[in-house]
Amino acid sequence: MLENTRFHPGEKKNDPEMGKELASMAELFVNDAFGTAHRAHASNVGVADHLPAAAGFLLENEINYLGNTISNPKRPFIAILGGAKVSGKIGVINNLINKVDSILIGGGMANTFFAPQGFELADSLVEINAINIAKELLEKAGSKLILPSDVVIGDEFNNEAKIKNQLIGDVPKGWRILDIGKESLAIFATIISTSETIVWNGPMGVFEFPKFSIGTFSLAKLISESNAITIVGGGDSAAAIKQSGLSEKITHISTGGGASLKMLEGEMLPGLEALDEK
């Protein structure tokens, strides 16, 4: 058992000497760390330069679901994207637009799509620098990109906030959007019920606050009850599924947040490229 390799200065630099030193301790390298596969580090890429290298069972599962299933999906195929920022999902949306039948948007990132439509969003999270990109994505995706029709707003960013459910429109001064609303969930439920492949990455609201967790946990339930192949990205989406107690009803829950996003963007991961060369 070795100390956390990221404490070593050569790890993140993919130092050749460190890779060689690690490889000297073994005869075969099996990479089962999908969570680091998007990084070219000494302990995954560097080692593979010196040993026969293969994917472990967990890594094989990730490739099958995040790679193969999405490349040749059963249809209708939908993606559900949430989380705080559009900027972190631009590559994912661009890659999936021509592959999916629908992209359902929620979470804070939906606000940045609302902004170019002229709504007053008050204290809602909006990525000012991504508004033009959001506008371009709306135009590119057309009817495939589905935004919430109603939202839950709060007058504070905490669980003690007063809350209201309102249709999309101007947000009152001092309030902010913190979850998707009941009507949006009903629309999403109809689309989910007819889908054959579902990919979900990112919460629908600030699910850490119970008052604003209904959208995320309701969505988790809808996905778990679907008959589709269901793939949940790592990070907050995986955490929400586990907190809901629904993990056993999901086809595949990714073990890598950053790595799963990179695969959804259609990028080849350095950790996988190193294995493919063997």
Tokens in use for 218? Answer: 């309701």
Which domains can be identified in the chain, with CATH numbers?
Answer: 1-73+256-278 (3.40.50.1260), 75-227 (3.40.50.1260)
Say what the pLDDT of residue 278 is: 43
Say what the pLDDT of residue 276 is: 62
Q: What is the DSSP string of 41-75?
A: -IIIIIHHTTS-EEE-HHHHHHIIIIIIIHHS--S
pLDDT digits (tens, 9 = 90+) for 188-231: 999 999 999 999 999 999 999 999 999 999 999 999 999 999 99
Q: Is the pTM of this model over 0.85?
A: yes
CB 17 within 8 A of CB 45: no
| Burial (0-12, 13-18, 19+ Cβ within 10 Å), 123 | middle
Say what the pLDDT of residue 266 is: 87
Spans in the chain with pLDDT lower than 70: 276-278
Say what the pLDDT of residue 100 is: 96
